[in-house]
Structure 1
Amino acid sequence: MAQTVSRAIEVLEFCSRRPRELREISELWGVHRTTALRLVQTLIAGGLIRKDERGRYGVGFRLAALAESALEQFDLRTVVHPHIVELSERVGQTVQFAVPQGDHLVYVDKIEPPSSIRLNTRIGGYATVHTAGVSKAYLAHVPSAVRERILAGADFEKYTDTTLTSRTAFEERLIEVARQGWAYDDGEYETLSNCIAAPVWDHSGSAAGGISITAIKTQSDLGELRKLLPTLLETTEVISRELGWLPPEPTEPAADPS
């Protein structure tokens, strides 16, 4: 029974990425097509899988309805909170979580260990768009219309010598963030602190917010903070998966034309 349930979960995730042929499903498990077909037919009967006009298997409409109901039953902060508590305990630094709200990014949770830096940010307060690591982590991965709306309210005021004071410089930083998958604040708002940040993804594959680790520069500069990247990215991946995100499938190498 446990194996059957496990296989059902696998095929639902497999088919949610794109419709699959029965051959692909049987190859996923390494079983004969008739074995794969029996489970697929059970899922079809339950409305969780459907067969399209090309004979491929994709997610069913009942699954979409169940997903919508599930999304209504949780609050994003409630899901994220225990993970950032654990992250803060592991790294011994301040951890913040911010999400978009209208034309701003808002801090909705913050964990400050006694020995860590005490930030002047507050839950419910706006992130400073052109300096905050969380805003860079989020804005680097959103549609241009969303980015345009939020950046329209940024004043690019200079706070320190490392502040990005022009939109051009900021957008160049976002290109870098999008390429490497994480962001940083190199003392751009306050000279005494720096941070690293990474996006959190939702069930649709869209950026849902950003999580940062902030430290006092004299104790942990960016070089030291980079050593915490695997822990930060591990946390954001766990949260994203809990929100229904699936990592993109690896692309297959192009066929050799020769």
Structure 2
Amino acid sequence: MSSSVERALHILVELASGPATISELGRRLDVHRTTSLRLLRTLEDERFVRRMDDGRYRIGPRMTTLAQAALEGLDLRAAASGHLRELGDRCGHTVHLSALDGSRVVYVDKVESRHAIRMYSRIGASAPLHATAVGKALLARLPTDERDRLLGEEPFPSYTANTRTTRAALDEDLARAAERGWALDDFEHEEFIQCVAAPVFDAAGRATAAVSVSVPRMVVDREGLLALAPDVSATARAVSEELGWNQT
């Protein structure tokens, strides 16, 4: 990459955090004022930056157009695929990527477990929000009115003795999930399967998907499952960043 192109890209990255003067950009990037001015004029001519009335420069309309086009072109499954497989390689268990589908979650991608005893699931299958780790990871990040709409009236369907069928019990669990950043399915949907899941955020900061690891009771105990939570959360963050999410 040529030095001019590299410096121009660095200028755009700096301006993404807020307007700046020529002098400020020169100090941050260790570039001479005349070089900064030359690059800024070229970027301004192409509408990548815009000079404000106070002399500072900011991101221009062409950058906004490019950013919007890039975000619209992102595919959740494609953005997540590599990260899901890396997680599967590290833990050896079933990994799912799930997304909201009406009032349920649907599995949009899957990495199979290396163990002979594994969870049965298939891409395209759906599951209830209130009884799955992926569903609860999403519900925990939704505003109350949207949560109300998705859950409907209680009691919620019971799948096992552990399913939370009342709103009070579910809300308590969701509060814990929001606080720690991940949700747990404690044999609530299937009697022999436990899961941990973390939400995936889009560029607007909305929780639109979730990453999970699912393991049978006889393969990993509860302590072993909880030990996977940091890695699941890190994978969900990596996918979120691929989708344009910026935590700061």
Q: Could you tell me the TM-score, scaled by structure 2's length?
A: 0.83
CA spacing shift, 1:43–1:183, aligned 2, 3 Å: farther
Deviation digits for residues 122-175 of structure 1 (CA, Å, limit 9, x no counterpart): 322222111111111122223334323222277522223322121122122222
CA spacing shift, 1:104–1:47, aligned 2, 3 Å: farther
Work out the CA distance in 2 between the residues paired with 1:11 and 1:164.
Answer: 52
**How is 1:1-258 mapped onto 2 (pairs within 5 angstroms)?**
1=1, 5=5, 8-17=8-17, 19-22=18-21, 25=25, 28-29=28-29, 39-52=39-52, 57-115=57-115, 117-152=117-152, 156-248=156-248
CA spacing shift, 1:93–1:116, aligned 2, 3 Å: farther
SS at match of 1:142: coil
Indicate the larger mover: 215-224 or 125-134: 215-224
Q: Is the 8 A contact 1:96 1:110 kept in 2?
A: yes
Q: Is the 8 A contact 1:108 1:124 kept in 2?
A: yes
Report deviation, 1:94.
0.2
Report deviation, 1:6.
5.2
Residue segments in structure 2 that go unaligned for 5+ positions in a row:
none
What is the one-letter code of the residue matched to 1:49? Answer: V
SS at match of 1:198: strand
Identity within the alignment, %: 39
What is the one-letter code of the residue matched to 1:239? Answer: V
Partner of 1:255: none
User: How many residue pairs were aligned?
Assistant: 247
Work out the CA distance in 2 between the residues paired with 1:13 and 1:124.
Answer: 39
Work out the CA distance in 1 between the residues paired with 2:191 and 2:243.
Answer: 35
Work out the CA distance in 1 between the residues paired with 2:198 and 2:126.
Answer: 18
SS at match of 1:99: strand
What is the one-letter code of the residue matched to 1:90? Answer: R
Report deviation, 1:75.
2.4
Deviation digits for residues 9-42 of structure 1 (CA, Å, limit 9, x no counterpart): 555445445x333376556446677665555444
SS at match of 2:129: coil
SS at match of 2:63: helix
Q: Is the 8 A contact 2:134 2:199 kept in 1?
A: yes
